C-alpha cells in the first residue's frame, strides 16, 4: 500500500498519481504564471484525485472545483482580491473546471459570518491549509523554478493514500466536518471516516 511507503517514495507516488489528472496539472502549470504570493493548489482537487486513482475511478471524478489559494496581506480589500480573480479568469477559461481563487489573508473578514465561528487572521497560506476540517485535506502543491513540485502536507500523506478521513478540530465546527464527510462518503464509499472528538 502506498500509505506505508517511506515518505520520499510517498512524495514520488503523489506526483505520479496527480499527473493522471490532466486538468490539475494544467491548472498547476498556468497558476505558476500568475505570480501569486505564497500560492498553492489545494483542498479537494488534490486529495480527491488521489482517492479517485486509488479506488480505480477516473482521476477527475467528483471534483467540484480547483482551489487556488494565495496570501497577500498588503491589501485586504475585496476589490484587490477581485482584481486577481478577474485577471486569472481568462487564464483558465478554456479548462473544463472551475478554478476558485482566494486570498487567505482575508479569510478572517468573512469566516464567522459564513461558518458561525471566529477565525483569527492567518499569517500564511500554509496556516490556512492547517485549519481545514480534516487533517487528510491539509495538502497543498505548487510548481516552483525548474518544475520542482513543492508539497505542503503537515499531517503527512498516509491517510490520503489509505482513504482515512481524520478530523482536525482547530477551527471548522463539527457540522462542517459532518457535511463534508457525508458528501464524500456518497462519492467514495471506500473511505474510513473517523468520528469528531468529544
What tens digit of pLDDT does each residue of 80-96 get?
Answer: 999 999 999 999 999 99
Q: How far is CA 25 from the centre of its chain?
A: 14
Position 198 in a domain: no
In the chain, which ranges are continuous DSSP H helix?
Answer: 7-18, 22-31, 44-54, 78-92, 107-115, 125-129, 158-162, 174-187
Contact 34, 136 (CB under 8 A): no
CA Rg value for the chain? 16
Our count of domains for the chain comes to 1
pLDDT confidence bin for 145, thresholds 50/70/90: confident
Position 68 in a domain: yes
Domain range for 144:
2-193
> Would the pLDDT of 116 be above 90?
no
d(CA 189, CA 95): 28
∠ CA 42-45-48, rounded to 5°: 115
pLDDT confidence bin for 16, thresholds 50/70/90: very high
Nearest 5°: phi and psi at 105? -70, -15
Across 41-51, average pLDDT: 96
Amino acid at each position: 500500500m502506498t500509505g506505508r511507503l517511506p515518505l520520499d517514495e510517498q512524495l514520488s507516488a503523489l506526483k505520479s498519481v496527480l499527473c493522471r489528472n490532466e486538468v490539475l496539472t494544467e491548472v498547476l502549470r498556468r497558476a505558476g504564471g500568475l505570480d501569486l504570493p505564497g500560492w498553492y493548489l489545494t483542498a479537494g482537487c488534490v486529495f480527491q484525485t488521489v482517492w479517485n486513482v486509488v479506488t480505480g475511478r477516473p482521476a477527475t471524478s467528483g471534483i467540484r472545483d480547483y482551489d487556488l489559494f494565495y496570501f497577500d496581506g498588503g491589501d485586504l480589500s475585496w476589490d484587490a482580491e477581485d482584481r486577481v480573480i478577474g485577471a486569472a479568469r481568462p487564464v483558465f477559461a478554456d479548462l473544463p473546471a472551475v478554478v476558485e481563487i482566494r486570498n487567505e489573508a482575508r479569510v478572517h473578514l468573512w469566516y464567522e459570518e459564513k461558518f458561525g465561528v471566529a477565525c483569527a487572521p492567518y499569517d500564511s497560506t500554509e496556516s490556512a491549509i492547517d485549519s481545514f476540517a480534516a487533517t487528510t485535506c491539509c495538502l497543498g502543491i505548487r510548481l516552483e523554478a525548474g518544475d520542482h513540485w513543492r508539497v505542503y502536507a503537515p499531517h503527512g500523506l498516509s491517510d490520503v493514500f489509505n482513504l482515512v478521513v481524520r478530523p482536525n478540530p482547530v477551527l471548522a465546527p463539527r457540522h462542517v466536518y459532518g457535511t463534508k464527510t457525508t458528501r464524500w462518503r456518497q462519492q467514495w464509499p471506500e473511505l474510513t471516516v473517523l468520528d469528531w472528538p468529544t
